[in-house]
Amino acid sequence: MTVASSKYDRLDNEAYFTPAWVIHALLAVETFAGGVWDSGAGDGAILAALPPDMPCYGSDIAPAAPHIKEVDFFDVTGGSLWPNFILNPPYGHGGRLAVRFIEHALDLAEQHGGKVAALLRVDFDSAKTRRHIFGGHPAFAAKYILTRRIRWTNFDQKAAGPTENHAWFVWDWRKRAGTHPVIGYPQLFDMEAIDA
């Protein structure tokens, strides 16, 4: 697969705000009992798309909304009050920062038997240096491929549309040992509103 260059400058702190339909696609196939932490919450778009009765918490090193707490995720060690994580992590050089976010979320979620869901480029699991968090990880449970490309909500993109494909990757510490990860295509419910 050839990946075309986006020809856009990277945004500060890699702050790409997630449209609601992307979170709705995840929630169509996964449940998150006990609450959710978005540790790179930006403007809180992921939290805003969650059901109103779902407990949630948002933090970021550079919050873009007053209700998001200023927290360096990697300073959080030991006990976490939140069993689950839904992330659109910053990639960093070569995807290394995204891997760190996932690894740290997995460590914090393990004590609760929780879940981690990360929004990543569809081929992010292809690198052999990341095998330890995908095929080689006991909690890796699912990959849900989005069949519509994402238009980030905080900057204008070309009329022709985005060039990258994404998927939700999910780890579940309650996954039965020996079961194979699910590969799926979640239904996109609010198609008319996707580009609004």
Give the pLDDT mean for 131-155.
Answer: 88
Number of H helices, E strands in the chain: 3, 8
Q: What is the pLDDT of residue 195?
A: 45
| Domain spans of the chain, in order of start | 12-193
Question: At the fourth CATH level, which superfamily is domain 12-193?
Answer: Vaccinia Virus protein VP39 (3.40.50.150)
Q: What is the DSSP string of 163-174?
A: ---EEEEEEETT
Strand partners, 36: 56, 84
| Host H or E run for residue 118 | strand 115-121
List pLDDT tens digits, range 90-124.
Answer: 999 999 999 999 999 999 999 999 999 999 999 99
**Which is more confidently placed, 2 or 62?**
62
Q: What pTM was estimated for this model as a whole?
A: 0.86
Model pLDDT, residue 152: 72
- 90 CB contacts (<8 Å, ≥6 apart)? 13, 14, 15, 40, 97, 98, 101
What's the rounded Cα separation, in Å, for the pair 134 and 140? 6
pLDDT at 1 over 60: no
| 6, amino acid identity | S
The confidence score (pLDDT) of residue 109 equals 96
Q: How far is CA 127 from CA 30, 133, 147, in A?
A: 25, 11, 22
Q: pLDDT, tens digit, for every residue of 150-195?
A: 887 556 656 656 678 999 999 999 998 788 999 999 877 554 444 4
